[in-house]
Every structure is written in C-alpha cells, then in structure tokens.
Amino acid sequence: MTNPLLAEWNTPFALAPFDAISDENFAPAFEVAMDKARVEVAAIAENSNAPTFANTIEALEASGKALDRVLSVFFTVAGADSNPRRQELQRDFGPKLAAYSSELYGNKALFARVEAVWEARETLSLTPEQQRLLMLTHRAFRRAGAALTGEQDKRMRAIMARLAELGTAFTQNLLADEASWHMALSEGDLEGLPEFVIRAARAAGQEKGADGPVITLSRSLIVPFLQFSPRRGLRRKAFEAWISRGARGGETDNRAIAEEILRLRAERAALLGYESFAAYKLETEMAKTPDAVRDLLMAVWEPARTQAEADADTLTAMMRADGINGDLEPWDWRYYSEKRRQAEHDLDEAALKPYLSLDAMIEAAFGCANRLFGLEFTPMDIPLYHSDCRAWEVTRHGRHVAVFIGDYFARGSKRSGAWCSSMRGQAKVPQVQGAVVINVCNFAKGDPALLSYDDARTLFHEFGHALHHLLSDVSYESLSGTSVARDFVELPSQLYEHWLEVPEVLERYATHVETGAAMPPEMLERLLAATTYDMGFQTVEYVASALVDLAFHEGTPPEDLMAAQRDVLDRLGLPHAITMRHASPHFAHVFSGDGYSSGYYSYMWSEVMDADAFAAFEEAGGAFDAEQARALERHILSKGGSADPAELYSSFRGRLPGVEALLRGRGLAA
C-alpha cells in the first residue's frame, strides 16, 4: 500500500489527506524523503556544468520538497496534537535533521558552487529578488560553518546534533509538566469565580477524567482563576505550579538542559568567530547588535518599572483593606489588579466576555481583512488532524489564494501558547496551489466559546501573521510570508491587533452571544479606555524576560541557570510581586529551538514599528484608509523576505520610527 505522505495528494488544493495518514506512516516517509533530498543535493554539488544562479541557487531552492511536505504534516500534528508515538518520532527526527543540515551546509563542493555564484553576482543580471536569495543562501552557508574544516567542522556537526536533541527534550518536558498537573476544586472553591471560569474548569475536569472541576496550567484557564479566585491559598498553589514548569526535579527538569544549550550555543558562535552567541544571532536582525537591543529595552524598562511600583503600592493598600498583612505577592497581583480595574473602569470581564465569542472574533478578523485587502473566507468541510480544527478557502476577486486552518482550543495534547505556521508557502517558482496557513491557539472550550479581551488580541495577533502569508507575492518560497528577520516578523501580527481596538469594529462584531445585541456604548468606551490598564506590570514581566534572554547569550554561559537569572533580575530591580513572563526552565521561545534565542526582544522592536505604522492610518483617512492599506500590502505584506526589512519599512513610512510612539501606545510616556 502506498504511503499517503509520499503519494500525490488528489485532494482540494492538494491539502494533506489527514484522514488517510497514520503515525506509522511518518518514519518510512521521512526516510524516503530524506534520501531523495540527499540525492537532489548531490546532483547539484556534483554538476559538471559551471555554477550558475539557475543550476545552483534555484536548484537548491527546489530541492527537498518531498521532505518539506512530510515534515509540514508531522510538525503540525506533533505541536498541536501530540501523543507518545509522535514525541518518540520527534526525538528520532531531531538529530537526523540536524545531521542532514550539517551535511548540506558542510558540503564543500556545494559551498564552492554557491561561493562561485556569489563572487560572480555583479555579472549575472539578477533581479532584486534573485540578488536577495543569493545573498541569503550564501550567508546561510557561511553562518552554518561551511568554511570550517577538520576538527572544527566535525565539532560543529556534533554541536548541532546535540542542540536538536536538547531542544526536543526541553519542549517535551514542558509539555509533560503542563499535562500532568491539575488542581481539583470543590464546589466551595468555585465561590467568587465568574460563570465562564466555572464552565472552563468543569470542561477541563472532563478532559482530565476528574470527578469535578479542575484548574490546569493552560493560560486561558489559570490566568482568569488568578484574577478572580478569592482563595489566596489556592491562588498561590496554582501560581507556584505554573511558574515551576520545567523546574520540578526528576526526568522533566529543564534546568541542566538549558545550561547545556547555552554552553553549546556559545561554543558554536566561537567556532564561527563571534564574541558571543548574541553577537552571532543579532547580525542578521534589524537590531544588529546586543547594545542596540539593550538600549531599546532599557528605554522602556525604567518608565515601566516606575509605573509598576506605583501600581504595587495601590494594590498593597487594597490587600491591607482586606485584612491581609505582609507583602503583595505574585499570586496576589492579578486578583487585586482585576478588582482595581473593575473599580476604576467599571469593567467586569464576566460581563464583557459574552460580547467576545470566538465565532464573532473570527468573523471580525476576517471582516477587517476583507475591508483592507479584499480577502474572502468560505468554510470548507475537509478532513483535518483534529476535530477541533476548522478550515476556510481564502479567495480574492474570485481567485483562490490559500487555505486557512484555525485550531483554537486548549487540550492536553497541544503545547502551550499560540502560533502561526505554514504547511505550504506562497511561491511563483514553481507555481504552487496557494499557501496553507494555520493559526493555533489555546482558548478555553465552552458552548459557546467566549474569549477574554486578551484572547481576542491573541486571535488578531496570530491572524496578522497569517495575513503575512496570505498576501505574500514573491517568486521563491524561502522568501515568502514570514520568512523575515525575527525582529521584523512581529510587525504584521502586532499591527493587526490595532484593528481590534477600532470602535467601529467592536460596534459591529462585539455582539452578545445570546441576545445578539451590540456591546453597550458605555461598555465599549470603558473597554477602550482600559486598553493600557496595568501596562506597567505587562511591560515589566516581558522586558525582564527579554533582558534575561539577552544576558544569557551575551556573556559567559552560566553554570547555575537560576542563580544567573536571579542576578539579572536583582540588578534590574524587578518588583517583588512581578515575575518574568517566562522563567528560564519553561522559556520555550528561547530553549525549544534557536528561533527567539537572543531574540525575545523582537516583539518590542516590532512594536516600535507597529505603533508608528498604525499612526500612518490614523494620520490618513482612518483605520480602513484604502491608500494606506494598499501601501502596507505593497511595501510590507506582499514582500516577505525579498528585501531588507529596514528598506521595506522605510519605503512604507518614509523613515524608521523612534520609541516614542510605543511609549505613548503603552501609556508610559512621561
């Protein structure tokens, strides 16, 4: 019987036939596709014809497509619907992929051909996009160690293989800690919790096979529990379990893994001639240097900490009024902050959530994309990898653009957080059947599913990433969509969040899930007035994480991870009642792979641009100004990684932005 992962996909838009694929198909398909990729690469390296852009750079771009197809399916299900077999396969595939990458970039004959094309670049009459692809290909080989020889080359391969093993182990340990912990609640423990939290806790209890409601470590459940539960002891128990993920001792402890990752990254950078891993990693980003990153973060840190300390005094006074002495603790902040929000903004999240149903917010995200860019979304009834998933065909002026898949609900088999991925990117060479784009979130299930305002922002954020894929219009897949510098990739996603705050959007889509009534104007006014509420806390917990990430990768790797983390936070003067958003043992952005290592700052770097970019709409005809939408698509969203990000932004806005718009947007300006 033919392996469905290797067969032609005679499905709508050549989508993966999820209903025909079993876990037992992955390993054989992986081996066959890997062998095919090796043959394709060898043919390029051993070509007797003189190196050209077509027979070397474009040929490399076209190689490995069968392997890409197998892995696109595997990593989609492994991240969003894991099981023991898929985890075992991840552990097996990781080192093999690292070895394949080392073979590719360590192929001296292949590198010689790439180098020859690079040296002849001025004589080749390449298009700007071809010049960009050539530069990125040559740079990738150089940064992967293609010029290393002998023992250095051998050591680099060993480092990359070990890093692949460690990243997989870090991720799986975190998933295991999140899946294994829950806190049972008695009926009495539900006192003070709004109905949406009670429903989510009961649904979580059913999933866990418990006799009653439980609190899990899913952010969409534990955060509202910390906001609303009057039982301080339970809040503490839940919070301490949440922040101890990856640091509980035993087989799932990530501390030694993270320490080894940092040592190997530093050694990798040294082999390539860089003074630190941060210097190596930031070379290709907009920021360029660790000093530039630190300057940005510290410019925001001081006003944010000042605001947070003032807020802490207010919350401590509220706690005293409740008869509780001692310090305001991290498990107290969200509870008293929610009370303060209700008092100052008369904004009750339990009353707000019925106006923010999941279906309505999906419709809002689609509706804004239609008004701005003419995209239309039609539901599709097709087999997907989990019954929670939904799919839409995306068209424009009647022409197929892509398939968009949404996987919105938290479950034990899904890693935490939210992300956007592409199972197939847009490309013209060769012409493909449109992109396949997935948004994965971790919202609490309900009937109907109701979102917090933060959840709704997350939905818009991830859909902003999706738009970067959907509107991509480049020749080569490796340059399409979100294939951009890490500190530029969050611009489209964070920019799209602004449309959730546009009054006319909420007036149209924020309707009561039962009555259909629009959100009352006074509630809408209070909601928008509160968008910068508690921004001192939010900014401090984020910037603390970003500065720890930078410190870990800039200096000598720490021998004691947690001691080094404490040292950075003590020097910063982190307020007692605020913790890092992601403590190091569960800092998946940084330790599950290289993606955000030395790069967690990038959300804030992008926010500097998104605040300024949305101001362009406000300065023109408003949030739906057609000319600005066309400019945003033409200069940024359609370009992918086909040009330097600073050039792309400058072509859209006429200049690069300063930090002032960000501080104003966060309510932190002096």
Residue type, 213: P
Query: Which residue bears the tokens 């692949």?
Result: 164
CA distance 301 to 278: 20
CA distance 474 to 637: 11
Rounded to the nearest 5 percent, the helix, strand and coil shares of the chain are 60, 5, 30
Query: Which residue bears the tokens 């889509």?
Result: 509
List, in order, residues 6 or more apart from 89 with CB less than 8 Å away. Answer: 23, 26, 27, 30, 74, 78
Set 40, 58, 178, 462: catalytic member: 462
Buried b (16+ CB within 10 A) or exposed e, 67-99: bebbbbbbebbbbbbbeeebbebbeebbbebbb
The HSE-up count of residue 391 (CA atoms within 13 Å, CB side) is 19
Query: Which residue bears the tokens 């605040």?
Result: 611
Asked if 8 is an active-site residue, the reply is: no
Query: Residue 32, by phi and psi: left (phi above 0), alpha (psi -120 to 50) or beta?
Result: alpha
Closest CA relative to residue 585, chosen from 126, 256, 120: 256
**Residue pair 296/601 in contact by the 8 Å Cβ criterion:** yes
Task: Name the pairing type of β-strands 419-424 and 435-443.
Answer: antiparallel
φ/ψ of 289, rounded to 5, equals -135, 155
DSSP code for 170: H
CA distance 212 to 133: 56
CA angle 613, 377, 448 (to 5 degrees): 95
Token pair for 419: 């992300």
Active-site annotation, residues: 462
